[in-house]
Amino acid sequence: MANIAEARIRREFKEVVKSEEVAKCHIKVELVNDNYTELRGEIIGPPDTAYDGGKFILEIKIPDTYPFNPPKVKFATKIWHPNISSVTGAICLDILKDQWAAAMTLRTVLLSLQALLATAEPNDPQDAVVAKQYKENQAIFLQTARHWTNVYAGGPHREQVLEQKVEQVKNMGFEEHRARVALSSANWDPERATESLLNS
């Protein structure tokens, strides 16, 4: 089986490298080790979304039973999205679970993930806090997602108000990322954020 997995990945690798999406710099895959079991994927945030212009790194692990079982994919870049855990980067996407089909490829997976960034499924969330914000306070959600994209994925759009708030909480002696998570989860209410930081 492992032989099929490797042969397949070699082929797919070439397919992705040659594909027109790569030519337009939208997706990319790289080898992490020589035996094709670990790969590093990269997708660019789709335009006209909060993730626009961000570069998101993906950890891809190929199981021995590939392509009969799906690859294990998670975000290495921190991201604020209802279907992606803001803590671990784990992804909730049907084709990576029971809807996987042997004829799917790395290219289709990466394109699906890109599509997921454009259309979230808040009713089937991976991260409940983010999903709640998405449903109840869309404006704040978009700002937060844009801010995270800017900070962690090198996106071009800065959210200066939010940056100031992070700075403010950081100056109280909290680590920057923790401060950002607390603020994001508290809909950017500094008081509630510090309270949750003090209680944790």
Partner 1 sequence: MDSEDEMNYDEEEEDSQEEDSNDEDFVDIAMEPEPSTASDSRETEDFQYEVLTADKIVHVMVECIKEVNAVVQIPATITRILLNHFRWDKEKLMERYYDGDQDSLFSEAHVVSPYRKDPRQKRSTRGSTSASTSESMCEICCLVIPHTDMAGLECGHKFCFQCWTDYLTSKIINEGMGQTISCAAYGCDILVDDVTVMDLIKDAKVRLKYQHLITNSFVECNRLLRWCPAPDCGHVIKVKHYDVKPVRCTCGHTFCFACGENWHDPVKCIWLKRWIKKCDDDSETSNWIAANTKECPKCHVIIEKDGGCNHMVCKNQNCKADFCWVCLGPWEPHGSSWYNCNKFDEDEAKKARDSQEKSRCQLQRYLFYCNRYMNHMQSLKFENKLYQAVKLKMEEMQQHSMSWIEVQFLKVAVDVLCSCRQTLMYTYVFAFYLSKNNQSIIFEDNQKDLEHATEQLSEYLERDITSELLVDIKQKVQDKYRYCESRRKVLLDHVHEGYERDTWDYQDGL
Q: Which residues are catalytic?
A: 92
159 touches partner 1 (CB under 8 A): no
Number of residues that this document lists for the chain: 200
Candidate list 90, 104, 118, 142; residue touching partner 1; CB under 8 A: 104
Residue 91's nearest CA partner among 65, 60, 133, 129 is 60
Cα separation of 82 and 79, whole Å?
A: 10
Give yes or no for residue 8 binding partner 1 (CB under 8 A).
Answer: yes
Secondary structure (3-state) at 55: strand
Please, which of residues 9-38 interact with partner 1 by CB under 8 A?
11-12, 15
Measured from the CB atom, the residue of 93 and 166 that comes closer to partner 1 is 93
Using a 10 angstrom Cβ sphere, with 0-12 exposed, 13-18 middle and 19 or more buried, the burial of residue 43 is buried
Place of tokens 């797919």: 12
Stretch near partner 1 under the rule CB under 8 A, chosen from 7-15, 16-24, 72-80, 158-166: 7-15
Tell the smallest beta-carbon distance from residue 171 to partner 1 (Å).
39
Choose among 147, 169, 151, 148: nearest CA to 159.
147
Residue whose CB is less far from partner 1, 88 or 108: 108
* Residue 187 binds partner 1, judged by CB under 8 A: no
Rounded to whole angstroms, the Cα distance separating 50 from 62 reads: 30
| Nearer CB in complex with partner 1: 35/65 | 65
| Site for partner 1 contains 67 (CB under 8 A) | yes
Q: Which region among 47-55, 63-71, 134-142, 151-159 touches partner 1 (by CB under 8 A)?
A: 63-71
Which of 25, 31, 65, 87 binds partner 1 (CB under 8 A)? It is 65
Minimum gap (Å) between residue 9 Cβ and partner 1: 9
Task: Give the interface segment with partner 1, choosing from 38-46, 97-105, 116-124, 191-199 (CB under 8 A).
Answer: 97-105
Separation of CA 77 from chain center:
6
CA dihedral 187, 189, 195, 200 (to 10 degrees): 30
Determine the Cα–Cα distance for residues 195 and 161; give it in Å rounded to an integer. Answer: 20
C-beta of residue 49 within 8 angstroms of C-beta of residue 116: no
Residues at the contact surface with partner 1, assessed by CB under 8 A:
1, 4, 7-8, 11-12, 15, 65, 67-69, 95, 101-104, 108
